[in-house]
Structure 1
Amino acid sequence: MTSLDGLDGKVAVITGGARGQGRSHALTLAGAGAKIVVCDIAAPIDEVQYALATSDDLEETIQLVKEAGGEIAGMQADVRSSADMRAVADLAVSQFGRIDILLANAGIHDHAESTIEIEDDAWQTMLDVNLTGAWKACKAVVPAMIEGGRGGSIVITSSVDGLGVSPSWGHYGAAKHGLQGLKDTLAFELADYNIRVNTVNPTGVNSPMAAGLSKVLPHVVRKWKHNDRTNLLDVMMLEPQDISDAVLWLVSDAAKYVTGIDLPIDAGYLTKH
């Protein structure tokens, strides 16, 4: 039997790691033996209506991993900046000598009454962070993976909204659908280097993002009479650890022949819809 704990000696880069799913991923992979490099913008973005992570949140993630006995380095970085993403990759290589895993996890959410009512700046920011940001993270990290000659694993955080309909936040859905295409193309192109590329596609997750959106989303969700956002299984939202467990499997040798897939951790949401 292949162990899911066999990440000793491997180095994982995690974007959006200051809190929520990113923090959970950092703790989970560190617990499995990986060295962690975490980054986050840790600052407000004008078009985002809820509070984003802070530098204190990022420092807390770093301290939590250290307290758990893990090795970690971190920095503030914006996935919209190619220079920032190169700096993160450089930090990983200079600190730990290699990169084996990338979790392109950074993302934002938003809503509007309808897709045609989304403001231009809000649309562009959503795509810049959620789609282009994942691409820039991959672009920065993949050369180090290839140079290492050991293969690697990339997990991109998408959503059930990357595989289905997303009324009231069409820009979010468009960005997440785009991630599915990015994943497929990278999986094809990087297979010769034994670099695997997959997405996780969660339903709602109990995170600071969800808490920040909860004050405004019920109204827009109820606007559409066929828009039932509940899951098939009897759970309203998943916990970040539920997603981390799936990520751990994808980056482990237990999934060494798994590439190009979308993995719903959705409590049956997509089956129901």
Structure 2
Amino acid sequence: MSELLADKTVLVTGAANGIGAASAERFAAHGARVVLVDVDADHGEANAEAIRTAGGDATFVRGDVSSAADVKAFLAAAVDRYGRIDAALNNAGIEETGTPFHESSEDGWDALHAVNLKGVFLCMKYEIRQMLAQGGGTIVNMASVAGLIGLPLGIGTYAATKHGVVGLTRTAAIEYARQGIRVNAVCPGVVRTAMLDSAINAGMFTPEEAAALHPTGALLSPRDVAETAAWLCSDVSGGMTGQAVAVDAGMTAG
């Protein structure tokens, strides 16, 4: 077992599948105590049990990041169990599958913003309160390359939420830089997850076309992103705050 996150308690939202599930597993492998949060209780608890079976320390708490009451409740449960939250990965998010901007619905706009942006806002708000009380901590927000550049893929609302996540990240990083709290974002490229499968099934692109968005010609795995998140949650990255780190196989380089 790695010692990268030894003796740290890390909270992961959206931990039932995809990048969140991979991150919870990798954080535990790096020595962390992990609190998994998701609305999908079956898969979330199964992931926590898999970590415990492998010798790690993990707890699942059901929670909806778009609800302030839920956010306060799962953070309280984490602190009750482990005493503190050293790091948090605010990963929960939903996708938009190829809707031309002029055909976007107000309901779709509201739904994506409720989870992808308001959810990050609420998690950060209450995580920062806890971290101020305990003397510091680290927050990593899941953004996207769609939060850094424009992409003509019918994901205008999704891109708006992810640009918002980057803005929240940078602003909070500056505001709390002298209070022992670091805040960074990870901006993945095209990752092979259930969300990508939904986009492929919706006809946005084929797997080959998705991979071709990367100069490497290959899709990323959830573990690629999870390892970067683990590093940002660790003390090894202590000199970094306010950064939007692209994990994108070169997608934004040119």
TM bucket (normalised to shorter chain) is over 0.9
- CA deviation digits over 1:211-270, x for unaligned, max 9? 1221114369xxxxxx996111121x1001000111111111211010001110001111
Q: In the alignment, what sits opposite 1:38?
A: 36
Q: CA RMSD in A?
A: 1.9
Identity rate, percent:
35
User: Secondary structure at the residue paired with 2:204?
Assistant: helix
For residues 196 and 19 of structure 1, what CA distance do their matches in structure 2 show?
26
2:69 corresponds to 1:104: no
Tell me how many residue pairs correspond in the alignment: 250
Contact 1:40 1:78 (8 Å CA) reproduced: yes
For residues 230 and 79 of structure 1, what CA distance do their matches in structure 2 show?
30
Task: Identify which range, 70-79 or 101-110, moves more after superposition.
Answer: 70-79
Q: In the alignment, what sits opposite 2:187?
A: 201
Stretches of 4+ aligned residues off by more than 4 angstroms: none
For residues 255 and 84 of structure 1, what CA distance do their matches in structure 2 show?
30
TM-score by length of 1: 0.87
User: Secondary structure at the residue paired with 1:243?
Assistant: helix
For residues 101 and 170 of structure 2, what CA distance do their matches in structure 1 show?
26
Q: In the alignment, what sits opposite 2:247?
A: 265
Alignment of structure 1 residues 90-169 onto 2, 5 Å:
90-149=76-135, 151-167=136-152, 168-169=154-155
Match of 1:59 among 31, 34, 45: 45
Letter in 2 for 1:61: N
For residues 192 and 229 of structure 1, what CA distance do their matches in structure 2 show?
42
For residues 67 and 193 of structure 1, what CA distance do their matches in structure 2 show?
37
User: Secondary structure at the residue paired with 2:185?
Assistant: strand
Letter in 2 for 1:32: H
Contact 1:231 1:266 (8 Å CA) reproduced: yes
Q: In the alignment, what sits opposite 1:174?
A: 160
For residues 124 and 228 of structure 1, what CA distance do their matches in structure 2 show?
30
Q: Cα offset for 1:64?
A: 1.2
Q: In the alignment, what sits opposite 1:11?
A: 9
Q: Cα offset for 1:5?
A: 2.6
2:71 corresponds to 1:89: no
Match of 2:178 among 192, 197, 206: 192
Q: Which runs of 5+ in 2 are unaligned?
A: none
Letter in 2 for 1:232: P
Q: In the alignment, what sits opposite 1:231?
A: 214
Letter in 2 for 1:263: V
Q: In the alignment, what sits opposite 1:48?
A: none
2:236 corresponds to 1:248: no
Q: Which runs of 5+ in 1 are unaligned?
A: 43-54, 221-226
2:56 corresponds to 1:70: yes
Letter in 1 for 2:137: G
Contact 1:112 1:118 (8 Å CA) reproduced: no
CA, structure 1 residues 252+70, in 2 after alignment: closer, same or farther (shift >3 Å)? Answer: same
For residues 202 and 217 of structure 1, what CA distance do their matches in structure 2 show?
21
- CA deviation digits over 1:45-76, x for unaligned, max 9? xxxxxxxxxx2211211111111211111121
For residues 238 and 39 of structure 1, what CA distance do their matches in structure 2 show?
23
For residues 217 and 10 of structure 1, what CA distance do their matches in structure 2 show?
42
User: Secondary structure at the residue paired with 1:268?
Assistant: coil
User: Secondary structure at the residue paired with 1:72?
Assistant: strand
